[in-house]
Amino acid sequence: MSIPYYVGPEQLMKDRADYARKGIARGRSVIVLQYCDGILFAAENPSRALHKVSEMYDRIGFAAVGKYNEFEVLRVAGIRLADLRGYSYDRADVTGRGLANAYAQTLGTVFTNEPKPYEVELVVAEVGDSSDNDQIYRLTYDGSVADEHGFAAMGGQVDQISGELTQSWRVGMTLREAVQLASRLLGAAGGSLQEDSLEVAVLDRTRVATRKFSRINGSVLKSLLSE
């Protein structure tokens, strides 16, 4: 009779965490940062069909790195939850904090109970009426939530990018300054990416419309990237 193979809980959790981190590190980076009129999302993404950044609700945006099929499932589930909550109660009851908590529960359950953890990291961001009310939540593969202040970076060379953001980001940056900073930090070896390799979107608090999310591309993005 063979002896059952046993792995201790601590080793099992460590192996799952290492597996998830390696998968996430292989992905291209995403930067989320505040600027004077809202929150900017910038991702290195040459695909025009598969988005790493998207709208979730009126004032809430979503960004992800890792396995596309896994974070796409989470994105769709978050949108359905937001729509249901807004329809059942009030649109103001849909908050970035609430969605971040829901994602934390899902990611934590998958990490603990499923054979394979999700190889994803997420940011849920909500733009407020002023910069003091902006919210940026970063969620890791195991359901941990961090309330970020000013900026967040995920995937790829995240340690290097986060260090440079700490040095270069400042309160009150213009949209042009924020886009150029993100482009420079996402670029290989410190260079700037071309607009066709960037996915850029904003939550713009100055928009009159209820929905604050908009994508920036084409001639507008090219103009922002120009000196």
pLDDT of residue 189: 38
pLDDT of residue 49: 86
Tens digits of residue pLDDT in 100-113: 999 999 999 999 99
Q: Give φ, ψ of 217 to 5 degrees.
A: -155, -175
Tens digits of residue pLDDT in 163-202: 999 999 999 999 999 999 999 999 853 455 667 789 999 9
pLDDT of residue 210: 92
pLDDT of residue 213: 97
Phi-psi category of 150—alpha, beta or left, where left has phi over 0 and alpha has psi -120 to 50? left
Q: How far is CA 66 from CA 104, 126, 169, 187, in A?
A: 16, 22, 25, 18
Helix, strand counts (H, E) of the chain: 6, 10
Q: How far is CA 176 from CA 31, 130, 211, in A?
A: 15, 19, 22
Would you say residue 136 has pLDDT above 70?
A: yes
Q: What percent of the chain has pLDDT over 90?
A: 78
78-82, 144-148, 186-190: the lowest-pLDDT one: 186-190
Domain spans, the chain: 32-225
User: DSSP state, 93?
Assistant: G
Tens digits of residue pLDDT in 149-169: 999 999 988 999 999 999 999
pTM of the full structure: 0.92
CATH topology of domain 32-225: Glutamine Phosphoribosylpyrophosphate, subunit 1, domain 1 (3.60.20)
